[in-house]
């Protein structure tokens, strides 16, 4: 398949792995920001091709994983109302809240629907004028333009039974929070290519300069990731800290300006709480005043709801690259995809789900033993 097969070609993969081995003279810890990259790394065993001195840690770029428990609880509360049709992408349904998940609401008879675009939810609202239709607007900068389009369209056509439950987060403030933490061990980043396709790369330049950390904008296929790692390690070895673009086939320095304009038109930057991490200043998007009639939290009077996270789930440490999934005591035992304790075990981009799906049990067991030594 075009744009897939050539980026998975085995001989080139091994050539890049060899180039990384030649380039590496010291230990380096590199974080891939996006959960899609994590899944590629674990699925294709790319980390196993790297020299021992290169450690990959998994970042916070799984939007489902970082959605805080109280937002799941708010979604559950709204979806449980008899006059509501609650629309969401599929992988939010099994994420546990402090009590129930959206899937449990659906099983109890709630009208919870999986949609593939926020515009599908707009259509559902047009077709069901007697119901309140709510879309769970989760995601990074990648999904924000489509959600902004849905809200702008709802306003344009005067759709008063449509609203969105906003859980938008932004990548650069999360990278700054990781780098500012006293526990930080990340020395270089593979930034998420699809986020940069929307936002461009300029907002990473001050981060690279201030924290002296190379940031390589990287795609999602095995060759993308190995080339991104090669560029990152080469910078580290040469003492450089720059923004480089591995994913040039999709990313321009200025990004997608019309999409950015749409985001700015509908959303404003707000402080946002991240699951397992806490509040990060100016790290999310909320609706602008001109669009606040479409804010489901306000419409349903849920703005002040708070909830406790599972004390057993260490997803905050996993999402900041401090621990790996197999270092969680509940991994594969008390936390499985069927009975998850945390979102990273059920999201299609979650690091715990990647380890559970692609690493054999025995392998994970020996990794656990290695971590305990």
d(CA 272, CA 270): 6
- Report CA 108 to chain centroid distance, whole Å: 29
* DSSP code string of 62-109: -HHHHS-HHHHHHHHHHHTSTTEEEEE-GGGTT---SS--HHHHHHTT
Closest to ligand SF4 by CB, 213 vs 343, is 343
Residue 330 interacts with ligand SF4 (CB under 6 A)?
Answer: yes
What's the min distance (Å) between Cβ of 285 and ligand SF4?
25
Buried b (16+ CB within 10 A) or exposed e, 338-373: eebbbbbbbbebbbbbbbbeebeeeebeebbeeeee
What's the min distance (Å) between Cβ of 138 and ligand SF4?
17
Residue 342 interacts with ligand SF4 (CB under 6 A)?
Answer: yes
Please report where in the chains the tokens 């080469």 appear, as a residue. 234
What's the min distance (Å) between Cβ of 102 and ligand SF4?
17
Please report where in the chains the tokens 């790394």 appear, as a residue. 41
Helix (H, G, I), strand (E, B) or coil at 260: helix
Q: Which of 345, 347, 349, 359 binds ligand SF4 (CB under 6 A)?
A: 345
Binding mask 96-115 for ligand SF4 (x = CB under 6 A): --------------------
d(CA 180, CA 24): 26
Residue 72 interacts with ligand SF4 (CB under 6 A)?
Answer: no
What's the min distance (Å) between Cβ of 222 and ligand SF4?
24
Closest to ligand SF4 by CB, 117 vs 336, is 336
Q: Which of 39, 263, 344, 349 binds ligand SF4 (CB under 6 A)?
A: 344
Residues 260 to 319 in contact with ligand SF4, rule: CB under 6 A? 312-315, 318
What's the min distance (Å) between Cβ of 55 and ligand SF4?
18
Q: Which of 233, 243, 341, 354 binds ligand SF4 (CB under 6 A)?
A: 341
Residue 335 interacts with ligand SF4 (CB under 6 A)?
Answer: yes
Helix (H, G, I), strand (E, B) or coil at 184: coil
Closest to ligand SF4 by CB, 101 vs 218, is 101
Helices (H), 118-221: 118-127, 144-156, 171-180, 193-199, 205-211
Specify burial of residue 29 (Cβ count, 10 A radius: 0-12, 13-18, 19+).
middle
Binding site for ligand SF4 (CB under 6 A): 312-315, 318, 325, 328, 330-331, 335, 341-342, 344-345, 352
């Amino acid at each position: 398949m075009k744009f897939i097969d050539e980026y998975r070609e085995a001989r080139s993969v091994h050539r890049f792995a060899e180039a990384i081995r030649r380039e590496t003279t010291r230990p380096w810890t590199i974080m891939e920001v996006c959960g899609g990259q994590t899944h590629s790394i674990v699925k294709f065993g790319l980390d196993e091709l790297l020299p021992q001195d290169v450690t990959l840690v998994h970042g916070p770029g799984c939007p489902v994983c970082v959605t805080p428990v109280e937002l799941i609880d708010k979604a559950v509360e709204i979806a449980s109302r008899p006059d509501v049709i609650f629309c969401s992408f599929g992988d939010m349904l099994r994420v546990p809240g402090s009590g129930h998940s959206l899937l449990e609401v659906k099983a109890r008879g709630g009208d919870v629907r999986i949609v593939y675009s926020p515009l599908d939810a707009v259509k559902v609202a047009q077709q069901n004028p007697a119901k309140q239709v709510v879309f769970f607007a989760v995601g990074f900068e990648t999904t924000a333009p489509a959600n902004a389009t849905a809200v702008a369209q709802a306003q344009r056509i005067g759709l008063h039974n449509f609203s969105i439950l906003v859980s938008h987060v932004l990548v650069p403030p999360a990278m700054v929070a990781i780098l500012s933490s006293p526990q930080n061990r990340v020395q270089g980043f593979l930034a998420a290519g699809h986020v940069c396709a929307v936002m461009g790369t300029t907002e990473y330049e001050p981060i690279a300069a201030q924290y002296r950390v190379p940031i390589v904008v990287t795609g999602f296929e095995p060759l993308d990731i190995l080339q991104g790692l090669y560029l990152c390690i080469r910078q580290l070895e040469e003492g450089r800290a720059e923004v480089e673009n591995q994913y040039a086939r999709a990313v321009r320095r200025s990004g997608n300006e019309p999409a950015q304009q749409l985001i700015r038109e509908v959303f404003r930057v707000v402080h946002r709480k991240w699951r397992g991490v806490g509040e990060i200043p100016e790290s999310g998007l909320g609706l602008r005043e001109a669009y606040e009639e479409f804010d489901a939290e306000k419409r349903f009077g849920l703005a002040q709801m708070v909830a406790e996270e599972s004390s057993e789930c260490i997803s905050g440490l996993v999402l900041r690259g401090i621990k790996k999934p197999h270092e969680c005591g509940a991994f594969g035992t008390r936390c499985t995809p069927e009975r998850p304790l945390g979102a990273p075990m059920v999201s299609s981009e979650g690091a715990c789900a990647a380890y559970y799906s692609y690493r054999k049990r025995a392998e994970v067991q020996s990794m656990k033993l290695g971590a305990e030594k």
